[in-house]
Amino acid sequence: MQGYIAFPNLSPELFSISLGGMTFALRWYALAYIAGLIIGWRLVLRGLAPRFWAGTPPMNGDQVERLLTWIIAGVILGGRLGFVLFYQPGYYLSHPLEVLKVWQGGMSFHGGFLGVAVASWLFFRTEKIPLLPAADLLALATAPGLLLGRIANFINAELWGRATDKPWGVAFPGEAAQYCPDVEGVCARHASQLYEAGLEGLLLGAALLWLAFRAKGLRRPGLLTGVFLAGYGAARFFVEFFRQPDAQFVTAGNPLGLAFQSGGYGFTMGQALSLPMLLAGLYLIWRSRRDLA
């Protein structure tokens, strides 16, 4: 039998309490959202120190606290609507009330990103806050949430990778094994959640911290935003080669789950949504050169 790593005995719930016949549970995924928002908020507040800027910081502490409410709304609404529109529009068109059942799962990072972008733009416009410098602070704050969210995906045994015979493959429980009918013995898969945690969270997050607090990157409007967009786009595009595509895209004639293909070549939905981020990020990095203080 091939070598593999057994999935650890992890519960999606940190703890649960039963009261009056009802059960209330704190899940790791919810904790990841909460911790990511708190860490991001603290990083933004630290980034407001005048020594990191060529001029006046774009926001003050009170504005950051108000912005946090807008961001939470953008994450939830955008993440849910993104999943509905990008991944299962046909199903939710037939079952519109299911759109409201967020507790059953189904969130899209790209949708959440768009939701945060729209909510932030509206807030910046209302408060007359300069767009690119403020966006750089949000880019700095995003990586911790990505890191914690991907680790929570692993704990939940969801968004697992494609089947592999590599010794670092993980034998995920439940539904993951059902998608390997042709594999003899244990079905091991790439731990693509941890690949993303390492690339989008640790590596990209470290680069953004260094740029902001060591390399005077906040003095170049748009640089951190560009690095985040290009870094996430490239990392997600790469990991999609190892990530199991959504079941609705996998058919007998399309085993790789390509959402867009022609002439034997194509992209998964995640890759297609990441390409515009990569291109926009490269443009912002190029643009920020002329603003070097």
Nearest to 272 by CA among 285, 255, 256, 258: 258
User: 104 vs 162, which has greater pLDDT?
Assistant: 162
Q: Cα(119)–Cα(133) distance, rounded to whole angstroms? A: 16
Q: What is the DSSP letter of 217?
A: G
pLDDT band at 180 (very low <50, low <70, confident <90, very high): confident
pLDDT band at 185 (very low <50, low <70, confident <90, very high): confident
Q: What is the pLDDT of residue 292?
A: 53
pLDDT of residue 207 exceeding 90, the answer is: yes
pLDDT of residue 1 exceeding 60, the answer is: no
Answer yes or no: are the C-beta atoms of 144 and 203 closer than 8 Å. no
Q: Cα(128)–Cα(250) distance, rounded to whole angstroms? A: 46
Q: What is the pLDDT of residue 125?
A: 94
pLDDT of residue 293 exceeding 50, the answer is: no
Quick: pLDDT tens for 58-114.
999 999 999 989 988 888 888 888 777 767 777 777 777 777 666 556 677 777 888
Task: Please state the pTM of the whole predicted model.
Answer: 0.86
Half-sphere CA count of 211, side-chain side, radius 13 A: 26
**Over residues 204-225, mean pLDDT:** 97
Signed CA dihedral, 101, 105, 110, 112: sign only: positive
